[in-house]
Amino acid sequence: MGPSAGARTTARAVTTTSRSTRNRLRSFLRRPWTAMAGPERDGPRVAAGFLSEWTAFVERFVRPSLSNADVYRLLHDQHHVPHVFLDGMQPLMRRRFVTRLQEAGAEQMDKYTAQVARFDAAAVNQTKQAEDAAGPRPTPPPSPKAMFVHTQYGLGNRLRALGSALAFARAAGRVLVLVWVPDAHLQCTFADLFVNDLVWQSELSLTFPFREDATYRVDAPLRRIRKYSFMRHNATHVLDPNRVAVANDRRHHLYVSTAYVIRSQLTPNIIAMDSPYWAALRSLIPVPPVLRRVESVQARVDSSLSPGSASAASSGATRGLATMVGVHIRSRSISTDITGVTAADYSPTAAAITDYWRSVTGVSTFLTRMRAAPLSVRFFVATDSPGVYDALVEELDASRVVRLERPPCPDRTAACVQLALADLVALSRTRLLLGSHWSSFSEAAGRLGNKRLLLAGLHFGRPRRAPPRQSGRRPRL
């Protein structure tokens, strides 16, 4: 059964709007945004001016074409997006979503048209050899599909999940929808941290097992969506993130709930730290307050390098954080690090493993490695404990140890997570990283900066006693 007449009319309206606004959008993006910043010409005012003008642009050229109800019906009835996802989206995000789907569909049709043209051109030559070379006649592509990635746990976990999802979506030609729900692990939205114009939502009233959800039984699009959960249910992983690859079924939308790297045949060897697919992660742009803090430490490092110093001479044209070794020390246990976490998030064994690695990769392990470095080497340090930084300064001298100037912020509110993101970006700009084993934050810094990453407990300071072993069988999806 095809779409209704109303849905077809709505689809034509969105397609026409999408095409007619492209030239206006190009002109809009070429405007001299630095002129909007006023006398100060500072980044935050430029960003604020851009966002204000962008909102006006959307209101003027996109919103009048369809009502919010029209957009909702189009996404559900024609594009088969489940109600539960649409209900968690803001109206502007739904408009962005439907526009991206229409643009993806237009690109698919352009490719299909080109394939048909090549086939028809080859078919003019009626020889058997030409027909064999042309192959079967191309078939029309399926309607464009989305990938809903539900990122979980803390900042490092969510970033590695998001980066791998961005790479998968690009390779598959899917529209990415980011599900970033604030919780005990991370009490902020995606927009609190980044300015990228992704399609994202901060609410989703859907939990595993999906078939037990009342919406699942009444909403056909939700039953058709392909679902992957790499999170824990009853204290064990539903699917093993190290073994199960996400398949690109072009006939269906995808939903992936994960805190880990998404593996697939479309992104081979993405688990490698230097995989080119992590360029997608580096496309994320932090909000101005985060960038201000990073640039502040860059300037502070530059000002401390006198032209005749050994560090300046060894760095040559390289300046700032790029001359330093980044150090990330993770030492707080789960019980002291995150409040409000339930037993379903961490099994007793998983919690014991995490606490084990944090106990054996403390400040003493890093100090042994850092003392062995030449005196000209300086360190940028990010840590979850102020006492760790004080211990490093006492042992190595304040001139060799640098950190972000920041107030104490031990919780996971938006303000504190912005500070953590600034630490992450600063670490990614150093020339070498010394990180903590079993820390997704260290891993994210290495992937973000495409830098060599040496892990305490693995590459140096290996412990004498073995960590606890995981146990238990994974339930079937």
Mean pLDDT of each 10-residue bin along the chain, 477 residues long? 49 49 52 42 51 54 74 96 96 95 92 86 66 73 96 96 98 98 95 97 84 72 93 78 96 97 97 95 97 94 65 55 94 61 61 74 92 95 89 92 87 93 97 94 95 92 72 39
**Pick from 413, 462, 454: which is nearest to 435 by CA?**
454
| 246 and 313 in a common domain | no
| 321 and 274 in a common domain | no
429, two tokens: 């700009």
End-of-domain residue from the set 254, 285, 316: 285
Residue 200 lies in a domain: yes
Return the pLDDT at 243: 94
Kindly state the greatest CA–CA separation across the chain.
Answer: 83
| 252 and 295 in a common domain | no
Domain range spanning residue 349? 288-456
| 397 and 294 in a common domain | yes
Q: Alpha-carbon distance 317 to 312, whole Å?
A: 9
Residue 477 lies in a domain: no
Residue 418 lies in a domain: yes
| 322 and 182 in a common domain | no
| 399 and 292 in a common domain | yes
Residues 6 or more apart whose CB falls under 8 angstroms from that of 415 comprise 409
Q: Return the beta strands (E) in 91-153 as ranges.
A: 146-151
3-state SS class at 209: coil
Angle formed at CA 306 by CA 294 and CA 40, multiple of 5 degrees: 40
End-of-domain residue from the set 285, 312, 335: 285
| 367 and 278 in a common domain | no
Residue 403 lies in a domain: yes
| 307 and 281 in a common domain | no
Return the pLDDT at 316: 45
Return the pLDDT at 237: 73
| 203 and 257 in a common domain | yes
| 174 and 154 in a common domain | yes
For residue 440, which phi and psi values (nearest 5 degrees)?
-70, -25
Q: b or e along 206-225 (b: 16 or more beta carbons within 10 Å of the residue's beta carbon)?
A: bebebeebeebeebebbeeb
| 377 and 267 in a common domain | no
Residue 20 lies in a domain: no
The domain total for the chain is 2
**Pick from 107, 97, 87: which is nearest to 172 by CA?**
107
The answer to whether the beta carbons of residues 54 and 33 sit under 8 Å apart is no
| 351 and 279 in a common domain | no
Residue 84 lies in a domain: no
Question: How much is the pTM?
Answer: 0.81
Angle formed at CA 342 by CA 256 and CA 200, multiple of 5 degrees: 35
Mind giving me the DSSP string for 41-66? --HHHHHHHHHHHHHHHHHHHTGGGS
Residue 74 lies in a domain: no
316, two tokens: 């040559």
Return the pLDDT at 41: 42
3-state SS class at 140: coil
End-of-domain residue from the set 261, 285, 309: 285
- CATH code of the domain covering residue 346: 3.40.50.11350
Residue 415 lies in a domain: yes
Return the pLDDT at 263: 98
